[in-house]
Chain A
Amino acid sequence: MPAFSAGDRVRVRDETPRHHHRTPQYVKARRGRVVEFIGAYLNSETRAHGGDGLPRVPMYRVEFDMTELWSEYTASATDKVWIDLYEHWIEHDRGTGD
């Protein structure tokens, strides 16, 4: 069962593992919302090092406000970035508001 569902507020883990990973720097430690659970995918972090990518890892489409990513972003308050992230890269955001 996926650990996150649409609408969940999440924070991207601020990690820099030494192995291949596809979570870009600009979203690390940033807060966003889960758009949807999109399925379980082969793990590219192990495939890149000769593994078979199993077990599959749940992946989520996560949206970030541009203003969360870039403090100088003023073009529009509603503009966003969508990016697909593996489950182990996100955690529930227990920051402000709770």
Chain B
Amino acid sequence: MSNHEGEFYDTGWRPKNDVHRDEDGRPHDHPGLQEDTSLGVRAARALAMHELLVEKGVIGPSDVDEDIAARGNVVPGNGAALVAKAWVAPEFKATLLAHPKQTIAEAGFVPEHNADIIVLENTSDVQYMVVCTLCSCYPGRLLGPPPDWYKSLEYRSRAVREPRKIMSEFGLELAEDVEVRVVDSNSELRFFVIPLRPPGTEGWSEDELANLVTRDSMIGVSAALTPDAVNA
């Protein structure tokens, strides 16, 4: 029994004209996802917006550069340290899963500032894999800037359609009875994956374990490295 019939959310927003027109006055529609071929135009628009925001005093002239630098200083190693700690300390893992934002902050890392973070644990039965089909939402405070492939139209469209094929391209062949859960991010939440701890790592220290935790394994497209891969 739905009590929402006929109550579909109406923001009150309406386009100014029924016919959309582009900057040159040409009418157009929105044919769905298209390959990005106009980065030049987008870059020009971004620059123009930046100039306007600075001119109107909304942001300072160096705010954007500083933010980019701060993000660039975040490396996947932050996430890897969390994973290694979760692997060796079950009680830490439990609180990380239950209260991610608080636990990440207490462990000395900066949680996502503008979105909630959800931590998911891969097991021998379930493999989580993260995508953002609509844009490129990513736990950048733990993993650094997202790789280009994560932002690509190809990954974003294939991830929800053929995740096993993508994992296979990243070198992970999953058994059929492992359940794949592709997690499609939105603007309010970021997902962070604890990969499965590789066999043969009993007794390893957190630092040693962290070396096995790759960025891609925390996106869920691949497994953590095996001891052999590191020693090779």
Chain A interface residues (CB < 8 Å from chain B): 3, 13, 15, 17-19, 22, 24-26, 38-39, 41-46, 49, 51, 57, 59, 63, 66, 69-70, 73, 75-76, 78-84, 86-88, 91-92, 94
0 or 1 for each of B149-190: is its CB under 8 Å from A? (1 = yes): 000000000001111110000000000110111111011110
Interface size of B in residues (CB-CB distance below 8 Å): 35
Which of B2, B9, B162, B180 touches A86 (beta carbons < 8 Å)?
A: B9
Task: Say what secondary structure dominates the interface of chain A.
Answer: mixed
Which of B11-19, B46-54, B73-81, B205-213 interfaces with chain A? Answer: B11-19
B residues in contact with A79, CB < 8 Å: 163-164, 179-182
Q: Which residue of B lies closest to A57 (CB)?
A: B9
B residues in contact with A81, CB < 8 Å: 160, 181-184
Q: Is the CB of A82 within 8 A of B184?
A: yes
Q: How many A-B residue pairs have CB under 8 A?
A: 96
Q: Is the CB of B4 within 8 A of A87?
A: yes
Interface centre among A24, A43, A63 (most CB of B within 10 A): A24
A residues in contact with B162, CB < 8 Å: 75
Measured CA separation A86–B9 after assembly (Å): 10
- What are 10 A-to-B residue pairs whose CB atoms are below 8 Å? A13-B8, A46-B11, A69-B161, A76-B179, A79-B179, A80-B179, A80-B180, A81-B182, A82-B182, A86-B9
CB distance from A81 to the nearest CB of B (A): 5
CB distance from A89 to the nearest CB of B (A): 8
Known: A19-B11, A76-B179, A76-B180. A83 touches B186 (CB 8 A): yes
Q: Is the CB of A26 within 8 A of B160?
A: yes
Chain B interface residues (CB < 8 Å from chain A): 1-5, 7-11, 13-15, 32, 116, 133-134, 160-165, 176-177, 179-184, 186-189
Which of A18, A26, A46 touches B15 (beta carbons < 8 Å)?
A: A18
Q: Is the CB of B164 within 8 A of A88?
A: no
Knowing that A22-B187, A76-B176, A79-B179 are A-B contacts, what are 17 other residue pairs whose CB atoms are under 8 Å apart, sorted by A's residue number? A17-B9, A18-B14, A18-B15, A39-B116, A41-B188, A43-B9, A49-B13, A59-B188, A76-B179, A80-B179, A81-B160, A81-B183, A81-B184, A83-B183, A84-B186, A88-B4, A92-B1
